[in-house]
Amino acid sequence: MGKVYLVGAGPGDEELITVKGLRAIQEADVILYDRLINSKLLNEARQEAELIFCGKEPNKHGLIQDRINEQLVFHAQQDKVVTRLKGGDPFIFGRGGEEALILEEHHIPYEVVPGITSGISAAAYAGIPLTHRQVSGSVSFINGSKPEERTDQEWLYLANGADTLCFYMGVKSFPAIREKLLQAGLPASTPIAFIHWGTFAHQKTIKGELGTIIERLPEISNPSMVVIGEVVRLSDQLKWFEENPENWFDYTSTQV
C-alpha cells in the first residue's frame, strides 16, 4: 500500500509553499495537481513522476471530483506515493476533507499538509491585514458561489458577525452578495477590495465601497478574492507588493 499527501501549494507565489509540502512533491511517484497552483512547483518533481492535471474552472472541469478520488485510491493501491497538490489550503474550500474521507474508507495512509489559503495571502500582498487592533478582531471565510442558498438570517449574521469578510468564488455572484449584505445592514460606505491573481507577479487590486463598486465589476474577473471591511482602508498605506514587486521578488509566474 502506498501513501497520499494532501498538500496545500499556497496561493501562487511558489516560495509560499511549506517545506513539508515541497518534500511531498519531491518524493511523489504521482502528482495530481490543480489549475491554480504555480506551475514552477512541478519542476521540483522527480523526472519519472507521473503528472496528472485535474484542475477545475467555472463550467469547465478537468477530472471531476469522483474521478480524482478514484485516481488517488488507484495509484495508492499500486504502492505509489501520491501527492494531491491543491491551490491554497486543502481544508479551506479545497475539498480535501472529501478526499481524506475516501482514503479513510479504503484504509489508505495519508497526511494533510496545510497551505497558505488565498484569503490570507492575497489580502497580505494587497496590504490588507485581516485583523488590526481597534479595527478588526474577527474574520469570516465565506463560499460566495451560491448566495441564494443562504437565508436572510444567515446574511444578517454574516453582515454583523465579523469585522472582515473574505469571499471565495464570489466574483460571478457578487451582485447578489452585495445586495444581500446591504439588505442585512452593512453600510454602503464599507470598503471593499477585489484581489485578482493574488501573490502572482501580475496581481491587481481594485478597491471601492460596497455601495458603488458594482460600477467597476466589468474590470473584475476570476480568480479574485473579495475582501470587505474597514481594514481595506489600510492598504492605501501598506500596498508594499503591487507598487514595488521588482524590489522584493524575481519570479515570473506562469499558470497551468
Known active-site residue 236: no
CA–CA separation, 212 vs 182, rounded Å?
11
> Pick the catalytic residue: 13, 34, 89, 163?
34
Catalytic annotation present for 169: yes
Rounded to 10 degrees, what is the CA torsion of 37, 41, 42, 43?
150
Known active-site residue 56: yes
> Can you spell out the DSSP letters for 58-108?
TTEESS-HHHHHHHHHHHHHTT-EEEEEESB-TTSSS-HHHHHHHHHHTT-
Of 40, 56, 80, 239, which one is the catalytic site residue?
56
Helices and strands (DSSP H and E) totals, the chain: 8, 12
Q: How many CB atoms lie within 10 A of CB 12?
A: 27
Cα–Cα distance between 34 and 124 in angstroms, integer?
23
Catalytic residue of the set 3, 163, 169, 207: 169
Residue 53 cell numbers, joined: 492535471
Locus of grid cell 454583523: 160
Report how far Cα 127 is from the mean position of its chain's Cα atoms.
Answer: 17
105, 134 in Cβ contact below 8 A?
no
Question: In this structure, are residues 210 and 186 in contact, taking their beta carbons and an 8 Å threshold?
Answer: yes
Contact 170, 150 (CB under 8 A): no
Q: Which residues are catalytic?
A: 34, 56, 169
